[in-house]
Amino acid sequence: MPLSAPSPREPLHHRRITLDGYGRPDGQIEIEAHLVDTKSFIWANHDRGTMPPGTPMHDMWMRVTVDEGMTITAVEVAMDATPHDVCPGVTPNYQRLVGLSISKGFLKAAMAELGGTAGCTHLRELLQQVGTVAVQTAISGKIKDRGERLFKRRVSPVFIDTCYAYAQTGPLVMADKTAAG
């Protein structure tokens, strides 16, 4: 069901975020995240001068490589457009993600490494999505390899209590407990 009809309005800001997950022949997966912010009007700042509508204020990329155990093995960050000339100076800090596990506590650990002035607000916003897409990509690889055999009604313990659908006392988890007998 779509949203209701909006009130009269004028577009001012557009953010586009895309994430794609890839399987590699070596068993690792790569997640590519891309964030682009644009304005629908002329805008300016002291570093870039006057920018026409549609010019990216932010155009940022992140590629995270994860091994079969969900440990980050490589990170690459690129900033094609930023509002300030100094922004790309933060990109080497994202190497601090290497060695972190995409599992419970990932975001907290990532924020400990890249919070505040150690990171970029916009790249940090991508990290939650990178984690989620990494898990979905890993699962997709298993589904592709195993086909229908993976579609047993089973909730992995890692997902229990992570959202409404996987509540420990909810119907999905309870059905698994009943089936397991």
> Which residue has 């290497």 as its token pair?
98
Where are any strands of DSSP class E within the chain? 13-23, 29-39, 43-45, 49-51, 56-66, 72-81
- 77 and 42, same domain (yes or no): yes
pLDDT value of position 174: 83
pLDDT at 158 over 90: no
Q: pLDDT tens, 70-111?
A: 999 999 999 999 999 999 999 999 999 999 999 989 999 999
Mean pLDDT, rounded, of the chain:
91
Same domain membership, residue 144 and residue 105: yes
Predicted pLDDT of residue 148 = 53
Helices vs. strands in the chain: H and E counts, helices first: 3, 6
Answer yes or no: do 88 and 24 share one domain.
Answer: yes
Instruction: Provide the Cα torsion 81, 85, 86, 88; round to 10°.
Output: 30
Is residue 4 in some structural domain?
A: no
The pLDDT of residue 157 is 74
The whole-number average pLDDT for the span 14-38 is: 97
Helix (H, G, I), strand (E, B) or coil at 74: strand
Give CA–CA dist 108/115, Å, rounded: 9
Clarify whether residues 122 and 174 are in a common domain: no
- Range of the structural domain that residue 89 is part of: 13-150
Q: Is the pLDDT of residue 151 over 60?
A: no
Residue-wise pLDDT tens digits, 119-135: 999 999 999 999 999 99
Residue 18 — φ and ψ, nearest 5°? -130, 145
pLDDT band for 160, please (50, 70, 90 cuts).
confident
How much is the average pLDDT of 16-34? 97
Residues 110 and 167 reside in one and the same domain: no
Q: Are residues 75 and 159 in the same domain?
A: no
Q: For the chain, report the end-to-end CA distance as a whole number of angstroms.
A: 37
Q: What is the mean pLDDT of residues 166-178?
A: 83
On whether both 171 and 88 belong to a single domain, the answer is: no
Q: pLDDT higher for 42 or 162?
A: 42
Task: For residues 170 and 102, state if they share a domain.
Answer: no
**What CATH number is attached to the domain comprising 78?**
3.30.390
Percent of the chain with pLDDT over 90: 75
Contacts of residue 173, defined as CB under 8 A and 6 or more positions apart, other chains included, come to: 155, 160, 166, 167
Contacts of 27 (CB under 8 A, 6+ apart): 67, 68
Residue 3 falls inside a structural domain: no
pLDDT of 47 reads 95
144 shares a domain with 69: yes
CB-CB neighbours of 34 under 10 Å: 17
**23 and 62 co-located in one domain:** yes
Distance from C-alpha of 154 to C-alpha of 176, rounded to nearest angstrom: 6
Is residue 143 helix, strand or coil?
helix
Both 167 and 114 in a single domain?
no
In a domain, 18, yes or no: yes
The tally of domains found in the chain comes to 2
pLDDT of residue 46: 92
